[in-house]
């Protein structure tokens, strides 16, 4: 029996996965968490075989959850289940220790395959990402080596994502990460210097060019927001 910890900020996603797992005789849900801190607590408490994890979480993000689990030497395999399919997210997740990456608009069968594969020590990427993402992760070419993003520390990357994706102020980032506002400002300053950007607007433009944010249409709206599908994990 493969035990699972479901970590996602949206209850409807967790319920969908639980319903899917309920029809599989070899899978069981050991617990659910809605944020990163709760995920760490439940991981220690339930010791699941596999964690199905969203990257964007309250408290601490999915990447930091994986890093902390690695630091605690917990032998938990990780399947990332996310709406973010940009190469950057996939590569960062793999580098942080994820064994599988599945997009939320993938089929239920792909998620089940991912869970079973990582449980026995194998890797898996959903069909939309497979060749592209593994190529990006394995080839350490000059393009990656010259990218200033590679010079950022884990904390600087985390703050970058909180600024451009969640539009948080330094004060709110400090509260989210349990650090001082002054520390956030230092990380932000160092991050902007490394990326050679001098304003918030320049940082947003970098995020769009790098793929952290979807492109804007001529009215300045997120072109993907209206078209994103609500993911259903119900058995088919």
Enumerate the domain spans of the chain: 2-138, 144-210
Question: What is the percent of the chain where pLDDT is above 70?
Answer: 83
What's the confidence (pLDDT) of residue 136?
A: 54
DSSP H or E run through 98: none
Residue 18 has pLDDT above 70, yes or no: yes
Task: Work out whether strand 50-53 and strand 77-82 pair parallel, antiparallel, or are unpaired.
Answer: parallel
In this prediction, residue 233 carries a pLDDT of 38
Does the pLDDT value for residue 200 go beyond 80?
yes
Q: CATH says 2-138 is which class?
A: alpha beta
Q: Model pTM?
A: 0.64
Average the pLDDT over each of 49-58, 88-97, 127-136, 163-172 and give the range with the smallest value: 127-136
The span from the CA of 94 to the CA of 92, in Å, is 5
Dist CA 48 CA 89 (whole Å): 24
CB 197 within 8 A of CB 149: no
CA dist 43 → 31, 52, 76, 152 (Å)? 9, 11, 8, 28
Q: Check if the beta carbon of residue 125 is closer than 8 Å to that of residue 134.
A: yes
Q: Please check whether the domain covering 144-210 is classified as CATH 1.10.10.10.
A: yes
- Separation of alpha carbons 196 and 62, rounded Å: 27
| Distance in angstroms between the alpha carbons of the first and the last residue of the chain | 22
Helices (H), the chain: 11-22, 36-46, 62-71, 87-96, 108-119, 130-138, 142-146, 154-164, 170-177, 181-195, 200-210
Q: Is the pLDDT at 6 greater than 90, yes or no?
A: yes
Structure-block tokens of residue 215: 């492109």
**pLDDT (0 to 100) of residue 223:** 36
Output the pLDDT for position 86. 77
Q: What's the mean pLDDT in 128-142? A: 59
């Amino acid at each position: 029996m493969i035990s699972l910890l479901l970590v996602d900020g949206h209850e409807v996603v967790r319920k969908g996965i639980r319903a899917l797992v309920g029809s599989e005789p070899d899978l069981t849900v050991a617990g659910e968490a809605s944020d990163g801190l709760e995920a760490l607590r439940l991981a220690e408490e339930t010791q699941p075989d596999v964690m199905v994890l969203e990257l964007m979480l309250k408290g601490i993000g999915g990447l930091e959850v994986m890093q902390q689990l690695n630091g605690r030497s917990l032998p938990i395999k990780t399947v990332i289940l996310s709406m973010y399919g940009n190469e950057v997210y996939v590569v960062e997740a793999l580098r942080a220790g994820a064994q599988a990456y599945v997009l939320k608009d993938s089929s239920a069968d792909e998620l089940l395959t991912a869970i079973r594969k990582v449980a026995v020590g194998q890797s898996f990427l959903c069909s939309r990402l497979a060749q592209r993402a593994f190529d990006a992760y394995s080839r350490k070419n000059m393009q990656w080596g010259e990218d200033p993003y590679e010079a950022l520390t884990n904390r600087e990357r985390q703050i970058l994502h909180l600024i451009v994706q969640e539009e948080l102020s330094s004060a709110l980032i400090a509260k989210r990460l349990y650090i001082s506002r002054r520390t956030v400002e230092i990380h932000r300053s160092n991050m902007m210097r490394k990326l050679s950007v001098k304003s918030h607007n320049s940082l947003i433009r970098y995020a769009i060019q790098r793929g952290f944010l979807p492109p804007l249409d001529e009215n300045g709206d997120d072109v993907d927001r209206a078209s994103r599908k609500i993911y259903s994990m119900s058995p088919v």
